[in-house]
Structure 1
Amino acid sequence: MSTHGLSHNKAMHGDYFSVAASPSLQSRRVLVTLRGNMFRSRAKKFKLIPVLPKNYRSIFLYAIEVSSAPRVFMDKQVVTDFSEQGKLTHNGIKGCTNFEICDGNVGILGFHDRPSEMWVNENYLGFARYCEQKGWLSIEGSAS
């Protein structure tokens, strides 16, 4: 298929800025650009509450319990075994550098580098307060 002398692939993806394009080709580029962005979902942004964990396993098991569609990631690997024999143990978590528990696609809590840099999604403040009340973590500041 050809669009004003350019191949379809070149018209869609290639170097057509070096070619003097007709007005209809320019309109097509705008339409293709808009169509490509129309269905792209943007990541939802939320503020993070800094917390200091004291009992990793209890915090994580409770986060999984309150989640309607829990997804657990440890060092970019999906974790499905939440038993004592799985990775969600104190030592397993302590040796981890990237961790996140999501409810579907929304992060509930996580950390990067080390567990002492844990955060909780501001929308889960009630969760963080419950964990603090249980003595599993302490809230270190307000959401930012």
Structure 2
Amino acid sequence: MAVWTKCINSLGKNESSSEFTDLILSIGETAQLSEDPIDDNDPIGHTKHYKYIHSGLEIGFRNDLLNHIHFYFDGSEGYGIFNGQLLCGVSSGQSEKSVTEALGKPVSSGGGKMDMLLGYINRWVRYELKGYALHLQFDQIDQLCRASLISSD
């Protein structure tokens, strides 16, 4: 739960903030840095990525502020498995039912079906909390496979 709290505290902060420094020290892995090409017409802004491949985390900065953190629970996209816990102890291997029992009714949900162009779209639920949103995805066997913590400020 300590990493989760540090993630929440880092949202909306810049790379030189004490909150972000505390977060990266707690991860204990050197990040692989990458940046999206700068496009002045991009409505979401330029993104700088801190990729913690072995720890199953990706942190994104937009407009110089921490915008989102992706947690990988299934080792997808070349990432290791995130072994920590999220809000209310939500962690790897949980089903959608167990997550909604812990967190309550989500504000929105969807997916869980095949798309002719994209293939299977994971089932997902979204929670809106003070200052951030939590988006959770479940694979075809109803296991938590990915989560995204997104700043709403």
TM-score normalised per structure 1: 0.30
Q: Highest Rg: 1 or 2?
A: 1
Q: Which has the higher contact order (CA 8 A, sep 6+)?
A: 1
Which structure dedicates a bigger proportion of its chain to helix? 1
TM-score normalised per structure 2: 0.29
Which structure dedicates a bigger proportion of its chain to strand? 2
